[in-house]
A and B are shown apart, each in its own frame.
Chain A
Amino acid sequence: MSRAETLRGWLFASPWILGFCAFTGLPLALSLWYSFTSFDLIHKAHWVGLANYAYLLHSHTFWVSMYDTAYYSMGVVVLQLALGLSIAMLLNFRSRGSGLLRTIYYLPAVTSGVAVALLWGWLLDPTAGLIDQFLRSIGLPGPLWLGSPHWAKPAFILMSVWGIGPTIVLFIAALQGVRSELVDAARVDGATSWRVFLHIVLPAISPMMLFVLVVSVIGSFQVFIPAYVLTGGGPVHSTYFAVLRIYQLAFQYLQFGQATAMAWLMVLMLLAITGIQFALSGRWVYYAGDHRR
């Protein structure tokens, strides 16, 4: 590598390098600093040590918020893995109509944000909403959904299923990588479909499952729009998700110190969860060509 080559490489990568410093590195450093201060954007920040962290860890609201977030995340992750894989296995064929079906399952994922939140707010309306009207027509009691502390989180989890398209696409790609000679050989030896799934398909797609697991935990921990638009964190703080709490601390109460501290606590938690996932992955994720096991 000559100096000219290195210079050229840095030059072409410079947009990202500058952007990383200005829009990621600097904010990260500032955020860490502010998390140890009391700051309201107007007055000068002053050092308070660990007070913000201590306050948060002793506050009931913080733990309610973390509980809501973890509950929601758990529901989303389980459904993304289970339903995503099931639908992908069903869709993993090619004949007339398969393309159309894939398009339909993916379609909701291109819409997101406020419009989707409002649509689901209407679908879940306890009196005139389609879902409760349907449930009542088959003789089931329609829950209050977003009006009930017990049903609001399940309602948001249900809503997240609508955007499962990308997960399905990822699983279809993984399933197409399963070596069919192994499947055929097992069948010739008389293996049932269930055993083929358990011992051949599942190990082969386990790296993708790990990927989906990690990505959907990180994604679902950052849920914000549905709660902001539809519930404002209620009822009774049952959808007081972490990002909503951070948003309110910063932009409604101007408690920038507490907001950044809470963001850091959330990141630490995510790091810990992701770390545990990777540590445990050695037990269940199988990498073809890796003979250490």
Chain B
Amino acid sequence: MRATIAAERRALRAARPRNPARAWVHAGRILLLVVGAAGFLVPFLWMVDTALKTTAQTFHIPPVFLPHPLILSNFTKGWTVLPFSHYLVNTVFLVCVNLVGTLVSSTLVAFSFSRLRWRGRDTLFFLVLSTLMLPYVVTLVPSFIIFHWLHWVNTFLPLTVPSFFATNPFNIFLLRQYFLTIPRELDEAARLDGASSIWLLTRVIVPLSSPALGAVVIFSFTATWNDFVGPLIYLGKPALYTLALGLQQLQGYSPGGLVTPWNTLMAVALLVMLPCIVLFFLAQRQFIQGINLSGVER
């Protein structure tokens, strides 16, 4: 509450400068921010620009900013030189399974750590927090050995099964923190009416937690979509490749030339990035709405 009042007061101060000096400072700040933002956007623009150019214009010095002729063949050529549609299907499959696994398991576990009282809970939660700090590289190699024993290498199992066991502690933490903000009276009222824990979770807690669940969806989506190390280690067969692996393969695939075909590479890289960008714009709105609409505020 205090934070919002402070923010509001500061916003008022920023919006209505009291004297000309302030106005100049504000204008300077906006200028700096716009220049910086341009710097953050230029790589995207350059990527789109390159993707629309012919090879001759791609390597032209000084650079050509307006592609002429404007071509779309880099997209079609790059996408079909390797079976990217197939990689897309694989990636979408992994993303869907991971989303279901992560949502179900993290919600159950976070519910237990936030709304149930049981012996050993705080000790185990401390363990969850410490795994947040654990570098993935220390479990990377032995996990591979375990999945090798199980004959799971060259299947999707190493990249899907763990998600059903809430293996990303960040999601548990995020959901737990959110669940803790939901008033306990709701639990007590439900319990008095004889409701079970699973009813309480699915009918009360989950409907009130869409912002936090939305955040988990965004983070798991982008993490699985962009994952490279997992597919690199576990998926040795081209039939199982994901978009990230395919993209890396495409880099070494320059038919008949020694130069890297940056225009086709940028075209495919752009297509690979696009869903994450779209999701971010969509979910950003939902995120804000979710926070405004959630029962916590009322």
Residue of B nearest to A225 (CB): B228
Q: Which chain B residues lie closer than 8 Å to A121 at the CB level? A: 260
Of B26, B41, B167, B222, the contact of A19 (CB 8 Å cutoff): B167
Docked pose: A270 CA to B134 CA in angstroms: 9
Enumerate B120-155 residues with CB–CB distance to A below 8 Å.
120-121, 124, 127-128, 131, 133-146, 148
Of B33, B148, B218, the contact of A91 (CB 8 Å cutoff): B33
13 contacts between A and B (CB under 8 A): A26-B146, A27-B146, A30-B142, A34-B141, A90-B29, A107-B44, A110-B218, A111-B276, A118-B269, A221-B135, A222-B137, A260-B142, A266-B135
Known A27-B146, A28-B138, A127-B59; further 8 A-B contacts with Cβ < 8 A: A6-B120, A19-B105, A94-B7, A94-B15, A101-B37, A118-B266, A128-B61, A218-B135
Enumerate A205-233 residues with CB–CB distance to B below 8 Å.
214, 218, 221-222, 224-225, 228-229
With A17-B124, A218-B135, A266-B135 as known contacts, state yes or no: A104 contacts B143, CB within 8 Å.
no
Enumerate B9-65 residues with CB–CB distance to A below 8 Å.
9-11, 14-15, 26, 29-30, 32-34, 36-37, 40-44, 46-47, 50, 58-63
Q: Which chain A residues lie closer than 8 Å to B26 at the CB level? A: 93
Q: Which chain B residues lie closer than 8 Å to A27 at the CB level? A: 138-139, 142-143, 146
Of B7, B36, B167, B227, the contact of A176 (CB 8 Å cutoff): B7
A259–B141 touching, CB < 8 Å: yes
Docked pose: A17 CA to B139 CA in angstroms: 17
Residue of A nearest to B279 (CB): A110
Docked pose: A9 CA to B119 CA in angstroms: 8
A286 within 8 A of partner (CB):
no
Q: Which chain A residues lie closer than 8 Å to B46 at the CB level? A: 122-123, 130
B184 within 8 A of partner (CB):
no
B222–A112 touching, CB < 8 Å: yes
Q: Which chain A residues lie closer than 8 Å to B233 at the CB level? A: 251
A107–B280 touching, CB < 8 Å: yes
A90–B32 touching, CB < 8 Å: yes
Most buried by B among A6, A112, A121, A162: A112
B197–A128 touching, CB < 8 Å: no
B210 within 8 A of partner (CB):
no
Residues of A that sit less than 8 Å from B by CB: 1, 5-13, 15-20, 22-24, 26-28, 30-31, 34, 41, 87, 90-95, 97, 101, 103-108, 110-116, 118-123, 125, 127-128, 130, 133, 137, 162, 176-180, 214, 218, 221-222, 224-225, 228-229, 242-243, 246, 250-251, 256, 259-260, 263-264, 266-267, 270, 274
Docked pose: A92 CA to B7 CA in angstroms: 9
Q: How far is the CB of A243 from chain B (nearest CB, A)?
A: 5
B3–A176 touching, CB < 8 Å: yes
B100 within 8 A of partner (CB):
no
Residue of B nearest to A122 (CB): B262
Q: How far is the CB of B296 from chain A (nearest CB, A)?
A: 17
Residues of B that sit less than 8 Å from A by CB: 2-3, 6-11, 14-15, 26, 29-30, 32-34, 36-37, 40-44, 46-47, 50, 58-63, 105, 108-109, 111-113, 116-121, 124, 127-128, 131, 133-146, 148, 162, 164-167, 172, 197, 218, 222, 226-229, 232-233, 244-245, 247-248, 251, 260, 262, 265-266, 269-270, 272-273, 276-277, 279-281, 284
Q: Which chain B residues lie closer than 8 Å to A20 at the CB level? A: 127, 131, 165
With A24-B167, A110-B277 as known contacts, state yes or no: A250 contacts B141, CB within 8 Å.
yes
B116–A111 touching, CB < 8 Å: no
Docked pose: A125 CA to B260 CA in angstroms: 10
Of A120, A225, A260, the contact of B43 (CB 8 Å cutoff): A120
Docked pose: A34 CA to B144 CA in angstroms: 13
B37–A110 touching, CB < 8 Å: no
Q: Which chain A residues lie closer than 8 Å to B116 at the CB level? A: 5, 8-9, 12
B277–A107 touching, CB < 8 Å: yes
Q: How far is the CB of B253 from chain A (nearest CB, A)?
A: 12
Docked pose: A20 CA to B167 CA in angstroms: 7
Q: Which chain B residues lie closer than 8 Å to A10 at the CB level? A: 112, 118, 120
Most buried by A among B32, B44, B117, B165: B165
Of B9, B33, B148, the contact of A90 (CB 8 Å cutoff): B33
Docked pose: A103 CA to B283 CA in angstroms: 12
5 smallest CB-CB distances across A and B, nearest first, come from A19-B165, A9-B118, A12-B112, A94-B11, A113-B226
